[in-house]
Amino acid sequence: MNAINRRQILEWSLMASSAIAVGAGCGSSSSATGASSGSGGSGGSGSSGDDVDALNGLLAVEYLGIDAYTAGAGILKSPPSGDPLASLAPTLLQVAVHFQQQHKDHATALQAAITAAGGKPAASSSVSFQLPTGFKPSITNVLKLAANAEKGAALGYAQVVSTMSAVNDRFLATAISGDESQHFIVLYVILKGIAQPGMNLASMTDAIVQTSFVTGVGAFSGLDKVPDLSYG
């Protein structure tokens, strides 16, 4: 798989067909069978070669998301002088680390699904994250970068689900897509100023986005394990 830059991935996020092209040549097999790591796709058929290609495209997106949070963390650790949100940077760094770990969980599940289908997971070195041209380091821009990437990822997952033939692969993509949407919503709320310096934002984020998947995937638990809220 050739190196993929951020612009290519963002374009893919809006076009499901591009996800399949991204994964081409990553060791997929058109005759591969076997269930993915999803635990909720009972009765699912085996993954096709196209499914493996699509899963590798999604894996590439997760790799880029992990690298994007690493780049953003560098700015959060040392905000530009005079940045109006500098006092919030340490808390936002905790949020970034929390979300990055969930992207690592997504990558682990996708790798397992690809391997189970007889394919070869793409290597993280096969993609290259680059900040947008003209990007100016600031806490607000880091939040916007992350929010845009999370929205693009959520849309990409939603688009690619309809192209997959195996129930378990669709289940996995859907379970991850919901988590990406949660990330976007939290980042958007912060950008809108609802979260202010001094709030226990990191703990709040852990409580809001508790799991890496909407429902259980392999060894990972989902929102199905979170108790319903009780009424007073």
Q: Which CATH superfamily is domain 6-28+44-222 in?
A: Ferritin, core subunit, four-helix bundle (1.20.1260.10)
Angle at 15 between CA 48 and CA 152, to 5 degrees: 110
| Stronger pLDDT, 227 or 98, i.e. the higher one | 98
Q: Is the confidence at residue 85, as pLDDT, over 90?
A: no
pLDDT, tens only, 56-83: 999 998 998 999 999 999 999 999 999 9
Q: Where are the domains of the chain?
A: 6-28+44-222
What are phi and psi for residue 157, nearest 5 degrees? -60, -45
pLDDT for 99 equals 92
Q: pTM to 2 decimals?
A: 0.72
What are phi and psi for residue 84, nearest 5 degrees? -65, -20
Whether 36 contacts 169, CB under 8 Å? yes
- Structure confidence at residue 157 as a pLDDT band (50, 70, 90): confident
